[in-house]
Structure 1
Amino acid sequence: MITSRALVAGVGLAALATSAFAQTAPSADEIAILRAQVQALSARLEQLEAQSQTQTQTPAQAAAAGTPAPVAAPAPRPVAQAATATTSVDWATGLPELRSPDGFTFKPRIRVTADLSNTFGSDFDSRNLTTTELRGLRLGAQGKTPGGFSYWIEGDIADNSVSVANAFMSYNRKLGGRDLEVSAGQRLNDRGVEGGTAEDMVPFLERSLMVSTVGPERGAYGVGLSSKLTGSVWHASLSLTGDAISGGTTNDSVTLMARTHWSPFKTDAGFLHIGGWGFVEDLTPNASVASRSLVVSSRGNDNLRLAGGAYVDPKGSKGLGLELGGVHRSGWLMAEGGKRVVETAARDYDQDAYSISAGFFITGEKPPLSTRTGTWSRPKVLNPLGTDGYGAVEVVGRYDTADYSDSPTGGEGDTWLLGVNWYPTNNTRVSAHWSAWSVDNRTGTFAGDDSGNTATVRVQTAF
């Protein structure tokens, strides 16, 4: 109010000064006209001030003053804020991962693997096959829910049949600065470097004979409880499981399994890997344990298998495995070996196996052996295929052997393998592997000592 009146006075003085400058002695009529103009301007300013005060009043203040409550203009819709509160999508891994503001995530999983295989040199003509196979079509999803929970479910279509692979829910939290995971459901065994790695991440087209030999009767999957504690260069796991998902017409076997590994001397150049694992299983009172049919070189040739032998009146089995290897710059070396003892009413039978494998990235990538989990992951390609890149190239080799000859019906066999893996991108792989194999089965259609060669080409994409 004071400011407005000062303004009015200033305007009046300016008008008087102007008039005085024009003529030194203004008339009475001119003075009256100027006075009327100043009064009118002052009244107008007082009206504008009153309107301004009314607009800034709250409804309660307006009611107390006896003035009408101001009508607030409608607030603009928070368009930008509403957009940020919706679900976000992350394409960093190649497939969309949906993330909600309240902590839910959902990510699809896809794996497609196709093989072309040729076996030659066998003494049995029906073993010399050229085959094509959709090695696996795996579809699934994984994600997280609020409170530290996560889920993972996958179905696999292979060999003209559908099966469930990983299907579990887990709870994750920190324990003494380490990562603790407790899960319930069906998941892959934590059993050695190759045995605990998903098939699409193992450097070879098939897991070794050692993995197939030293393991529980139920195979690579079991339904139950499992736990894992992980540090920066070590982990330890413990699981108690029954059989894999089945029809529920017989009693399940029960398996207790544990594994630990340590990666000491870790530097930018590499690290040492030391590990061990074991299991004890209580088998159901079936009439016999069926003879295992182990993959040799390629799963596409069902006539090329190693027969493990049948065991009458089994009671249980136990196994022990050891791991020793390491990584240095772009190369890696790993030895795994173990023994399984099958306990029957008559006596115990030994099953022995081991493997020695190595690899080298000639394009300079680091071998993707995790110091945290002691398993393989996908390599991080330095120069993906494109305008200036050609992908990653890895040369691999392996010798593996399995011996079931302690049983009168068990065979023995071994393979020498050499291969090249080309990774155009982090999620694609083209492999060409050749192996020289020797198999001596004591029973079955292909009984006797036999040897030959198998060459396999694989194309794979996995997300």
Structure 2
Amino acid sequence: MRVLFTTTALVAFGLAGAAHAEDSDLAALKAQIQALQARLDVLERQAAAPPAAAPAPAPAAAPIQTLPSKPAAEPIRWENSPRFTDPASGATFKLRGRMSLDAVDSTTERDGLADYHARQFRARQLFLGVEGQTGRWAYRLEGGAVSGGAWGWDDAIIEYKLNSQTSILAGNQKAASLEGLTSFKSTTFMERGAYGDLIDAGYTLALEVVRTGPNWSLWAALQGDSINKADVTGGFDPNQAVERSGATVRATWSPKLSENDRLHLGAWARRRDRGGETGFTYSAAANTAFRPQTSSGTTLLSTGAVGDGDTTLALEGAWVHRALSVQGEAARIRVDRIATSLSPTLGGDNFDIVTAYGAVSWFPTGETRPYNPNGSFGRIKVLHPLDKGGLGAVELAARYDYADLTDMAANTVVAPALQTGLGTAGIYRGVTLGANWYPYSYVRLTGNLTRAKIDNRNIAGSELDADVTVVQGRLQVEF
């Protein structure tokens, strides 16, 4: 490039000299050649220098961290019946219900009375209901016929969710007992046994506050009578039409000991008053809902309507290890007995009732009992249902029941033989063996065998002891 510029300059110089030959022009041309030479030197130095590093690109902006978007709610989700969900508001609605068809054969061998035999084929429960939620408000309404009786309501609840942990509930509901709060559809045995009969922690019209944590729950309830009961007309005084009332508190703690172990510990207390109604009755039978509530039937453990009020203290415990489950409860009921001035045949001194049970169950097919945060057990999830090529779930179980009513003593107003319930306020001991087959999570076939012994006191030479054998089966479908 240097030679090219020099040659070009010389040619221009020669031509200029030939054409003009004036000194001034020659000087100007020399100045131009010098300028071109200087420029050429600069260009050569730039070409010989190493290439300049390209400027580093600006660092890329860090990606904005965003939370994963919540999947849109399914408009229709199948739970053995459709659960409808409005994607815009999140409101839900579901039809629910259950059918339980039972066959029961019961034999009672009684001292001092003829033996008693009963066989029943009927629907234990035919129930239909709905549930749903809109915003913070939820509801559940379910009712039907029990053992061929008139229509009645179980759940009739309106719930307001203060937050994810705390709810206020009003309506016909329960508030106590591990076995009592576990749905009838999910209890291991067909009936809750003598313990469930005596604590009488069933449905009442109540205002409840429930708070749950990751492994604990707290309950508080103000309770009246069952929503199915007609208006009170007065038990001993027709001018005192005051409904019975009560209050219950419950606390549970359920640490997860390992991936395969769950422990449940709980305690509850309840105080009740009969108001203007008749007294509370404490009675039980041998694991069957089909029982005439008289001495001619299979119920031979009862105090009669002797309770003016009562205070119940109870403990709960359970341990689940994979397919094995152990569960038990115990309660002491302090009965404030009706005064003899109100009823000489029912009245007397206050007394205590002690009742308890212990149960164990095992799934040879590998299922486990699911535990709910509110301190109850839920529906079994079948690992290998029939429609997936499996055999369903099989559960084997046993339970021991105990109840002692003998602290109820005779009064001195009338003869013991005239005092209602005194002759059947004895001791109950029973063993129940059970087997459940779940072809699907919403279908269950159950068989129970119960052997029970009732030891009653001798009243005026008569002792109504009894040995009871109950064989029963159930087909249950829920949705």
| Match of residue 379 from structure 1 | 380
CA distance in 2, matches of 1:315, 1:301: 25
The SS at the match of 2:365 is coil
Question: Deviation digits for residues 370-394 of structure 1, max 9, x if unmatched?
Answer: 3x12211111100011351110000
Return the match for 1:169 from 145, 149, 158: 158
User: Where does 1:281-360 land on structure 2 (aligned, <5 Å)?
Assistant: 281-286=272-277, 288-289=278-279, 291-302=281-292, 303-312=297-306, 314-344=307-337, 345=339, 346-360=348-362
Indicate if the aligned counterparts of 2:298 and 2:468 stay in contact, CA closer than 8 A. Answer: no
The SS at the match of 1:354 is strand
- How much has 1:447 moved relative to structure 2? 6.2
* Amino acid in the other structure paired with 1:461: V
Indicate if the aligned counterparts of 1:290 and 1:309 stay in contact, CA closer than 8 A. Answer: no
CA distance in 1, matches of 2:90, 2:285: 43
* Amino acid in the other structure paired with 2:160: Y
The SS at the match of 2:225 is coil
CA distance in 2, matches of 1:88, 1:262: 36
The SS at the match of 1:204 is coil
Structure 2: stretches of 5+ with no match in the other structure: 1-71, 233-240, 340-347, 410-421
| Match of residue 74 from structure 1 | none
User: Where does 1:71-90 land on structure 2 (aligned, <5 Å)?
Assistant: 88-90=75-77
Range 243-252 or range 319-328, more displaced: 243-252
| Match of residue 433 from structure 2 | 418
Question: Deviation digits for residues 309-361 of structure 1, max 9, x if unmatched?
Answer: 1355x542110100122111110111210111111345311111000001001
Indicate if the aligned counterparts of 1:214 and 1:352 stay in contact, CA closer than 8 A. Answer: no
Question: Deviation digits for residues 59-82 of structure 1, max 9, x if unmatched?
Answer: xxxxxxxxxxxxxxxxxxxxxxxx
Indicate if the aligned counterparts of 2:280 and 2:309 stay in contact, CA closer than 8 A. Answer: no
What is the count of residue pairs matched by the alignment?
365
CA distance in 1, matches of 2:210, 2:281: 32
- How much has 1:87 moved relative to structure 2? 9.6
Structure 1: stretches of 5+ with no match in the other structure: 1-84
| Match of residue 62 from structure 2 | none
CA distance in 1, matches of 2:388, 2:77: 25
The SS at the match of 2:429 is strand
CA distance in 2, matches of 1:102, 1:324: 40
Return the match for 1:241 from 203, 220, 223: 223
| Match of residue 260 from structure 1 | 251
1:181 aligns with 2:167: yes
CA distance in 2, matches of 1:169, 1:382: 34
CA distance in 1, matches of 2:375, 2:280: 31
The SS at the match of 1:103 is coil
CA distance in 1, matches of 2:80, 2:185: 16
User: Where does 1:18-167 land on structure 2 (aligned, <5 Å)?
Assistant: 88-91=75-78, 93-100=79-86, 101-120=88-107, 122-123=109-110, 127-146=116-135, 148-159=136-147, 160-167=149-156
| Match of residue 14 from structure 1 | none
The SS at the match of 2:197 is helix
* Amino acid in the other structure paired with 2:109: S
Indicate if the aligned counterparts of 2:198 and 2:283 stay in contact, CA closer than 8 A. Answer: no
- How much has 1:441 moved relative to structure 2? 4.9
Indicate if the aligned counterparts of 2:431 and 2:452 stay in contact, CA closer than 8 A. Answer: yes
The SS at the match of 2:242 is coil
- How much has 1:99 moved relative to structure 2? 1.6
- How much has 1:129 moved relative to structure 2? 1.8
Indicate if the aligned counterparts of 2:108 and 2:469 stay in contact, CA closer than 8 A. Answer: yes
* Amino acid in the other structure paired with 2:142: E
CA distance in 1, matches of 2:77, 2:357: 40
Indicate if the aligned counterparts of 2:109 and 2:116 stay in contact, CA closer than 8 A. Answer: yes
1:458 aligns with 2:474: yes
Question: Deviation digits for residues 76-120 of structure 1, max 9, x if unmatched?
Answer: xxxxxxxxx9993221x1101122232321101111001111123
Change (3 A) 1:128 1:389: same
| Match of residue 453 from structure 2 | 438
Change (3 A) 1:447 1:157: farther
- How much has 1:412 moved relative to structure 2? 2.5
Change (3 A) 1:213 1:460: same
Indicate if the aligned counterparts of 1:439 and 1:449 stay in contact, CA closer than 8 A. Answer: yes
1:269 aligns with 2:254: no
CA distance in 1, matches of 2:94, 2:207: 24
The SS at the match of 1:386 is helix
Name segments (4+ residues, structure 1) moved above 6 Å.
none
Question: Deviation digits for residues 32-64 of structure 1, max 9, x if unmatched?
Answer: xxxxxxxxxxxxxxxxxxxxxxxxxxxxxxxxx
CA distance in 2, matches of 1:107, 1:161: 25
CA distance in 2, matches of 1:405, 1:289: 18
* Amino acid in the other structure paired with 2:143: G
1:407 aligns with 2:390: no
Aligned-residue Cα RMSD (Å) equals 2.2
Range 259-268 or range 377-386, more displaced: 259-268
CA distance in 1, matches of 2:218, 2:199: 19
| Match of residue 362 from structure 1 | 364
Indicate if the aligned counterparts of 1:214 and 1:321 stay in contact, CA closer than 8 A. Answer: no
- How much has 1:439 moved relative to structure 2? 2.1
Indicate if the aligned counterparts of 2:73 and 2:90 stay in contact, CA closer than 8 A. Answer: no
Range 418-427 or range 296-305, more displaced: 296-305
Change (3 A) 1:325 1:89: closer
* Amino acid in the other structure paired with 1:422: W
Range 102-111 or range 344-353, more displaced: 344-353
Indicate if the aligned counterparts of 1:132 and 1:300 stay in contact, CA closer than 8 A. Answer: no
CA distance in 1, matches of 2:388, 2:168: 45
* Amino acid in the other structure paired with 1:220: G
Indicate if the aligned counterparts of 1:291 and 1:307 stay in contact, CA closer than 8 A. Answer: no
CA distance in 2, matches of 1:86, 1:220: 35
Indicate if the aligned counterparts of 1:296 and 1:306 stay in contact, CA closer than 8 A. Answer: no
Range 421-430 or range 241-250, more displaced: 241-250
